[in-house]
Amino acid sequence: MPDTATASGEIPTDENGLPLWNLDDLYPGVDSDALARDFEALEKDAGRFAEAHAGKLAELDGNALAGAVAEYERIEEIMGRIGSYAGLMHAGDVSDPEVGRFYQNTIERLNAISSTLLFFQLEINRIDEEDLEAKLAESPALAHYRPWIRDSRAMRGYELDDEMEKLLLEKAVAGRGAWTRLFDQTLAGLRFPYRGEMLTNTDILHLMSDPDGSVRRDAARSLGETLGENIQLFSLITNTLAKDKEVEDRWRGFARPVSSRNLANFVEDEVVDALVQSVREAYPRISHRYYKLKARWMGAETLDYWDRLAPPPQDDDRTIEWDQARETVLSAYGRFDPAMADLGKRFFDNGWIDAPPRPGKAGGAFAHPTVPSAHPYLLLNFKGKARDVMTLAHELGHGVHQVLAGKQGQLMADTPLTLAETASVFGEMLTFQSMLAGTEDPKRRRALLANKIEDMINTVVRQIAFFEFERRIHDARRDGELTADRIGEIWMECSRESLGDTFRFGAEYANFWAYIPHFIHSPFYVYAYAFGDCLVNSLYALYEGGHPDFQKKYLTMLEAGGTLRHKDLLAPFGLDASDPAFWNQGLGVIERFIDELEATF
């Protein structure tokens, strides 16, 4: 477990000078008095809250109900602080058994408290609509919480009786939560043989974009073969969680596996269907076309699958130091709006980022909002490549968004997944355009443009291919358990469809689905990336075109958090996600980048 405490107040770093996060702003330690006190108070407060309000909410007038919601929010925020601390500790080292024990025990205790409080939202959802509107009208304090009440009541019609809901909640830690933890620990514990070394998941994936084709080949085969040696376990996890979801969806009355995710995102099924259809129809114009161009660039007609992430020829493969990455991103943010750069700077100055890769650390990257009374934290696995700079820009965008939305409070700060990627992808676009404008060398400019196109393909095309893979898996699972071979076949079908006929696939590639955590952690999360990228492309076009008061409207949109739905958020910009032309407009930006790249040959 990294040492995040410093006597001097300086930002803790690893031996290479990369920052480690300091979690003291949440709690000073797993055995701290502050954490123990909060837990003890939580359990008492939740019990008193239930005793005071269970079965009585419908009888309260507007102001009394507002007071109950405010107290519920206070309790939820403390729960969120504790849960965030445990989750971040675990992400820092998912292989440490003591950290794992602390994390699991914390989640179980929080789950028990949540069970005590479960009645609250269920009873709010049962209040008659006319009666609720009368309470909202008489109480400005309650009207403040109208967006949260609206979103809570979106589940009306899909909720079960109170005892069933309580059972599902309490069993989650021994069901979905336990299987998810098993996946995380298994993946973090795997070591991939590579030329006499045993590498972590993060390290072997990093080699997949190495300039040397033999390095990419050996890394890719090691990844696929090692996953294959464990594929029965990954298949069992996938089958179990898909069945678990199917059972709950059936009991709740969701007609399609994706419908519960769409409801949670407050986006209509038909909007998501239009997005998916638009992207799939664009495969030939975007990914198929680009990869044919890349193959020609590399002097071949076809490529091996491990060449998909090969850096473009003449790519600038310099190692980018952390300070340079920081300056690049903050400068790009500052040129857009100084206030956004000031917010971003706080992450670097206050120990809110954990940057270095290390054994046991969770792979990939994320921004965790924690709670409004604290601040977000960023997890990276920074190796000094251009893609790592873009990842920093992406996660910092999330962090800035989360800080701005925090003013909405614990119950209304969270943004639906469809909009949660807006600030992150916009931050990437700002950084890319800044880097492109500062690059005069034609070869480096071409490589930078190609890297951006590949990132956009990964964000839009690949994520919709992932979505399609999930859809087919969940649909097929309803007819019975899937073998590892069948899951691999579905993976290959979706890969060939999305990537085109440029690539040759080895047998081991059929196992690559197994390391993708989104399938396990958040079913159907992935389409939010494509939603966010297309949305940002449309927004950025408006910004470049001089849309009136764009910066002010943009920051106001981020500040709204979860208080507004996508139609209301986009209305000031004249955008409408329900219009199919909206998606084609966003996809057209990628096509124009490919046009620009093709013109350089």
Residue at 37 is within a domain? yes
Long-range Cβ contact pairs of 448-453 (< 8 A, separation 24 or more): 448/316, 448/386, 449/593, 449/596, 449/597, 449/600, 450/294, 450/297, 450/312, 450/315, 450/597, 451/311, 451/312, 451/315, 451/386, 451/387, 451/390, 452/593, 453/290, 453/590, 453/593, 453/594, 453/597
Whether residue 296 contacts residue 597, with contact meaning beta carbons closer than 8 Å, is answered with no
Helices (H) and strands (E) in the chain, counts: 27, 7
Burial of 404 (0-12, 13-18, 19+ CB in 10 A): buried
Residue 530 has a pLDDT of 92
Residue at 439 is within a domain? no
Span 143-160, pLDDT tens digits = 999 999 999 998 888 888
The domain tally of the chain equals 1
Residue 2 has a pLDDT of 38
Token duo for residue 167: 């059972």
Residue 9 has a pLDDT of 57
Residue 194 pLDDT level (bands cut at 50, 70, 90): very high
With a pLDDT cut of 90, the percent of the chain lying above it is 79
Q: How far apart, in whole angstroms, are the C-alpha atoms of residue 468 and residue 91?
A: 28
What SS3 string covers 101-126?
A: HHHHHHHHHHHHHHHHHHHHHHHHHH
Which of 13, 96, 23 is CA-nearest to residue 356?
Answer: 13
Task: State the average pLDDT over residues 329-336.
Answer: 97
Please state whether beta strands 303-304 and 192-194 pair in parallel, antiparallel, or not at all (unpaired).
unpaired
Q: How far apart, in whole angstroms, are the C-alpha atoms of residue 85 and residue 74?
A: 17
Q: How far apart, in whole angstroms, are the C-alpha atoms of residue 61 and residue 81?
A: 31
Whether the per-residue pLDDT at 532 is higher than 60: the answer is yes
Task: State the average pLDDT over residues 357-375.
Answer: 94
Q: At residue 339, what are phi and psi to the nearest 5 degrees?
A: -65, -35
Which of 292, 340, 352 is CA-nearest to residue 501?
Answer: 292
Q: Is the dihedral of CA 83, 531, 526, 334 positive or negative?
A: negative
The residue assigned the tokens 């490549």 is: 385
The half-sphere exposure of 560 on its side-chain side, counting CA atoms within 13 A, is 22
Residue at 526 is within a domain? no
Q: What is the mean pLDDT of the chain?
A: 93
Helix (H) or strand (E) holding 214: helix 213-229
Amino acid letter, 176: R
Which of 514, 331, 531, 523 is CA-nearest to residue 433?
Answer: 331
Whether the per-residue pLDDT at 279 is higher than 50: the answer is yes
Token duo for residue 134: 């009368």
Q: In sequence order, what are the residues at sequence separation of 6 or more whose Cβ sits closer than 8 angstroms to the Cβ of residue 523?
A: 241, 245, 257, 261, 470, 474
Task: Count the neighbouring beta carbons within 10 Å of the beta carbon of residue 186.
Answer: 15
Residue at 367 is within a domain? no
Residue 418 has a pLDDT of 80
Higher pLDDT: 53 or 600? It is 53
Name the residue range of residue 152's domain.
23-174
Residue at 193 is within a domain? no
Q: Is the dihedral of CA 581, 586, 591, 595 positive or negative?
A: positive
Amino acid letter, 347: F
Residue 315 has a pLDDT of 66
Residue at 108 is within a domain? yes
The residue assigned the tokens 């790592």 is: 388
Span 477-507, pLDDT tens digits = 999 999 999 999 999 999 999 999 999 999 9
The residue assigned the tokens 């690559």 is: 512
- Local structure of 194: helix, strand or coil: strand
Q: How far apart, in whole angstroms, are the C-alpha atoms of residue 69 and residue 61?
A: 12
Burial of 290 (0-12, 13-18, 19+ CB in 10 A): buried
Higher pLDDT: 304 or 528? It is 304
Biggest distance spanned by C-alpha atoms of the chain: 75
Whether the per-residue pLDDT at 5 is higher than 50: the answer is no
Whether the per-residue pLDDT at 4 is higher than 60: the answer is no
CATH code of residue 70: 1.20.140.70
How far, CA to CA in Å, does 70 sit from each of 63, 66, 76, 143, 148?
11, 6, 10, 12, 12
Q: At residue 377, what are phi and psi to the nearest 5 degrees?
A: -130, 145
Residue 128 has a pLDDT of 93
Residue 440 pLDDT level (bands cut at 50, 70, 90): confident
Residue 312 pLDDT level (bands cut at 50, 70, 90): confident
Residue 439 has a pLDDT of 86
Whether the per-residue pLDDT at 576 is higher than 90: the answer is no
Residue at 370 is within a domain? no
Residue 3 has a pLDDT of 37
Task: State the average pLDDT over residues 379-391.
Answer: 92
- Local structure of 503: helix, strand or coil: strand
Residue at 278 is within a domain? no
Whether the per-residue pLDDT at 202 is higher than 60: the answer is yes
For 285-428, strand residue ranges (E) read 303-304, 353-354, 366-368, 377-379
